A and B are shown apart, each in its own frame.
Chain A
Amino acid sequence: MKYKHLLSLSSALFLTVVCFAQSENTNKSYFKQLYDELPTPNSFRTASGYPGHQYYQQKADYVMDIVLDDEKQTITGSETVTYTNNSPDVLPYLWVQLDQNMRAKDSDTRKIQSMSIGDSLSFEALDKYINPFDGGFKLEKVTDSRGNKLDYTINKTMMRIDLPQPLKPGATTSFKIDWWYNINDRMKIGGRSGYEYFEEEDNYLYTIAQFFPRMAVYNDAEGWQNKQFLGRGEFTLPFGDYQVNITVPSDHVVAATGELQNSSEVMTSAQRKRFAEARNNTTAPVLIITQKEAEENEKEKAKGTKTWKFKASNVRDFGFASSRKFIWDAMAVKFGNRTVMAMSYYPKEGNPLWEQYSTRAVAHTLRSYSEHTFDYPYPVAISVNAKSIGMEYPMICFNYGRPEEDGTYKERIKYGVISVIIHEVGHNFFPMIVNSDERQWTWMDEGLNTFCQYMAEQEWDINYPSRRGPAYKIVDYMKGDKSNISPIMTNSESIFQFGNNAYGKPATALNILRETIMGRELFDFAFKQYAQTWMFKHPTPADFFRLMEDASAVDLDWFWRGWFFTTDHVDIAIDNVQWLQVDSRNPSKEMAFQREQANKDEEAFIGTIRNKELKPKNVVVTDTKANDFYNSYDPFEPTKIDEKAYENYMNSLDDVQKSTLEQPLNLYDVTFSTPGGIPMPIIVEFEFTDGSKVKEYIPAEVWRMGDKTIKKLFYFEKEVVGLNLDPNLETADINRNNNYWPARIEPSRFKLYKEKESKEKENPMQRMKRAEEMD
């Protein structure tokens, strides 16, 4: 399971056997322990998946003054970063992330994008290509805390600040950066952050993030994590405390990471009264700004500005949204005596969906995730409506979903809104608090979060149309062309089929662990232990893999190997079933059976059947002199000798043995194979002649010797009529046609559709109407 078990006798023996079984002299078994794949445990990270006794993490505190210019769509900032070196290492320089530079004219993101004209190119696309957006940070100055210039070097999205004096272990340093940049039009250029323009009333809705130079992470696992930001691999950030003052037009409303410090300066007394009401309401959202008030506010533009002041402790990032279009509602979620505010900010275009669902979904997410991990530790959780994206930051996220102009909406928009809010609010837990390295591993936050999202959706409504989670939903992906699939353990920038790889498959794998391999009790304890252990810390994949095993006593190396390190799939088949009964040695019973078996083939043969008419003319019939002893001898007729032998045998048995022999017993010798590769438990359901069923579970270790086929013996009193492998679709078996005995072909989706088609020529609404007419 982990290093400490390396020299256990059983695994040593096992390794030897597998080596001999392979044609090449290397161990290719799924059950080979993960020593080559995982880093060596040390005093920073233990073999049990916990922080070691020398675990450390850096701290970065920010004090920032931000000005949002609504006329020119620019943002200007002056920030002071205080960086504490908790590592045992001396740091000659610091790395700061300049994520906005991904939008610079000469960015690598643009350069590595493959592009050809193809069939046609729109004027807009051509214009964009010839006149690219002038994005990226414009740095005004970089100084130490006393205002002395600091040397720095910019490499695309990373900036190295060369310290005059190396930063010693335990020491703290401060520096200042003044900057500004042009905000991108999200609807034209795209992006996680930017603005949406509302032409009708000439208004902007800003959702602003990765907007300031941010410290990179320095730790024992990666050194400086300064891999360039290309657009896909998201963010890796240290924790710290933030004080941010945001100056916006005076009629704007600002939502941000953290708690508002100056409500009396920026909110009306009516708004503050409503906010106090919301703090006491745990059942339904209370409107702080109504739709009517928001519509009134967005009509005209006020002159002058206001400064909103926020404070946030122990967060890894800071995001905010600002607009004069915002409707604002809030409700309270209680954790013991602590009150957390679940809040939503949305333009009128989000209604009626958002007033009904957004804040409710935020509150539900906090409760559900807290149940599975740890109590949500921050004071607020905010959902902001932003067209066509879903993106997460600490305490605040930007989510898509708007109804049609007439106020109606499709079912999938409704569930899209609830799902995206659960997902993005859920990101507070992974990776905002359980702070994994997103630049390196997308699955560590997206996969774990999608898994929790599935549980939260099912807790919202057991009929919830969840897209990801159930094992059978990953089958189409896993059976696909392997050249277009990457292992989950692939760097974020190099993943094929991003959604299936980093969201769907790891979420499914965790579901399979929970439902099938470990069981809910062992899994839930271990998962919670992982979340609580790495809360406000920086875990790596190895920490997750090791801790899940350490807290459960389930060796999962084979599972991590198959599901996370390969692109193999699951396919288990029933090859053969043999039915056996116990030899009772009772001559009257057994010899008749033997006769039946001996003559079976001969009697079935076509010649035997047709030759029956020859019997009256047979020589042995017409001429009795042609007969001797053997013509009338029946070897299967019990004799006195046989009966005596049976009597002696029975007398030699004790009562227990006798009753065993006498009870009805049907034995089934079943051969299973794995054409698919990844070993999984064998879950087989037996159906009996009386219609009853029994499910047998054989752990995946049945495949530990690397066999392609294995045999298992099952016994029942009743007679079996059929076997069904994985009847509850829990292993992601990609081919169910080989899962039955007697063999049965699963109807394809096409066939099911055609069968339905021939039955139903009307849609559900028409059918309901016809039913009503029948009353």
Chain B
Amino acid sequence: MKKWGLILLLLVSAQVVSAHKFYVSLTQINYNSKTKSIEVTLKLFTDDLELSTTNFSKKTVKIINAEDSDVEIANYIKDKFSISINNKVQVLNYLGKEMENDVSWCYLEIKNVTDIQSIKINNRIFTEQFPDQKNLIHLNVNGVEESAVLTKNTTTFLIEL
């Protein structure tokens, strides 16, 4: 499997047209004051997710619409993605995923969040596979909207409210 990582790594420099060749993920984080929960939506390229979960779980993961790969995806995301509120790491609850064209939407939730003074996001998704990976964060908490781009070298983003 190491070999596969290498092939993709080199494709970054070789440039291949049309097939997706830029390494970007998008994470939307909203605070829902009604349900007192942090809602996390991750938009990931399905082929990147397959490759990363396969390498991480050490077994072949094929993502199709059924729920079969959810355990591997949840384990992977929880290892590479975390949220701290008021300096305390929170328990992320993986809800499930949806597929759309070549992307997977993954949904996670943190329950019982009341007083948010600071929120810290750590995102290392796919950076172990792709040195050029960029993880975009859009955050909306109590009307405060912020955006950030996280990379292999900058993996955390802190907002004081």
Contact = CB atoms under 8 A, between A and B. Distances in A.
A465 B101 contact: yes
Contact of A190 (B13, B24, B28): B13
A465 B5 CA distance: 28
A708 B22 CA distance: 36
A467 interface: yes
A4 B46 CA distance: 51
B95 A190 contact: no
Interface in B1-21: 2-3, 5-7, 9-11, 13-21
Given A190-B13, A481-B147, A750-B30, A122 B65 contact: no
Interface stretch (A113-121, A315-323, A348-356, A663-671): A113-121
Contacts of B21: 498-499
Contacts of B6: 122, 124-125, 128, 188
A420 interface: yes
Given A124-B3, A481-B147, A481-B148, A115 B131 contact: yes
Contacts of B148: 481
Nearest to A501: B22
Nearest to A764: B65
Nearest to A453: B18
B143 to A, nearest CB: 11
Nearest to A421: B18
B46 A412 contact: yes
Nearest to B107: A753
B22 A188 contact: no
B19 A750 contact: no
Contact of A748 (B15, B17, B39): B39
Contact of B18 (A116, A420, A476, A765): A420
A657 interface: no
Contacts of A424: 17-18
B134 A467 contact: no
Contacts of A388: 11, 16, 19
Interface residues of B, number: 50
Interface string B53-90: 00000000000111100000000000000000000000
A232 to B, nearest CB: 5
A472 to B, nearest CB: 12
Contacts of A334: none
Interface stretch (A212-220, A389-397, A594-602, A611-619): A389-397
B64 A410 contact: yes
A656 B152 CA distance: 74
B41 A423 contact: no
Contact of B96 (A115, A119, A498, A753): A753
B22 A749 contact: no
A31 B20 CA distance: 35
B67 A763 contact: yes
A415 B18 CA distance: 13
B111 interface: no
B3 A390 contact: no
Contacts of A192: 14-17
A190 B17 contact: no
Nearest to A503: B18
Given A753-B105, A763-B67, A498 B22 contact: yes
B131 to A, nearest CB: 6
Contact of B2 (A124, A188, A410, A751): A124
Given A189-B10, A231-B14, A476-B26, A420 B19 contact: yes
Given A390-B19, A423-B18, A190 B65 contact: no
A190 B149 contact: no
Contacts of B128: 119
A480 B136 contact: yes
B138 interface: yes
B58 to A, nearest CB: 15
A113 B128 CA distance: 18
A481 B15 contact: no
Nearest to A109: B13
B20 A750 contact: no
B19 A231 contact: no
A711 interface: no
Interface in A723-775: 748-751, 753-754, 757, 763-765
Most buried by A among B2, B14, B65: B14
Interface in A478-503: 479-481, 483-484, 497-500
Nearest to B24: A497
A119 B130 CA distance: 12
A43 B79 CA distance: 63
A446 B17 CA distance: 9
Nearest to A420: B18
A122 B131 contact: no
B102 interface: yes
Nearest to A193: B14
Given A192-B16, A388-B11, A467 B102 contact: yes
Interface string A453-483: 0000000000001010000000010011101
A400 interface: yes
A191 interface: yes
A416 interface: yes
A187 interface: yes
Contacts of A231: 13-15
A296 B6 CA distance: 34
Given A190-B10, A480-B147, A481-B149, A122 B5 contact: yes
Contacts of A498: 21-22
Contact of B7 (A190, A234, A391, A765): A190
A385 to B, nearest CB: 13
Interface in A327-345: none
Interface in A93-114: 109, 113-114
B18 A390 contact: yes
Nearest to B64: A410
A143 to B, nearest CB: 33
Nearest to A234: B17
Contacts of B18: 389-391, 419-420, 423-424
Nearest to A127: B6
Nearest to B152: A118
Given A412-B46, A754-B95, A190 B16 contact: yes
Interface string B24-51: 1010101010000001110100100000
12 contacts: A116-B131, A122-B3, A122-B6, A187-B7, A465-B100, A499-B21, A748-B41, A750-B107, A751-B32, A757-B95, A763-B65, A764-B65
Interface of B: 2-3, 5-7, 9-11, 13-22, 24, 26, 28, 30, 32, 39-41, 43, 46, 64-67, 95-96, 98-102, 105, 107, 128, 131, 134, 136, 138, 147-149, 152
Kindly list the 10 A-B residue pairs having the minimum CB-CB distance in the complex, ordered from nearest. A190-B14, A390-B18, A481-B147, A750-B39, A389-B16, A122-B2, A190-B10, A484-B149, A190-B11, A124-B6
Interface of A: 109, 113-116, 118-119, 122-125, 128, 187-192, 231-232, 234, 388-392, 400, 410, 412, 415-416, 419-420, 423-424, 446, 465, 467, 476, 479-481, 483-484, 497-500, 748-751, 753-754, 757, 763-765
Given A189-B14, A392-B17, A420-B19, 7 more contacts: A122-B6, A192-B17, A424-B18, A480-B149, A497-B134, A753-B105, A763-B65
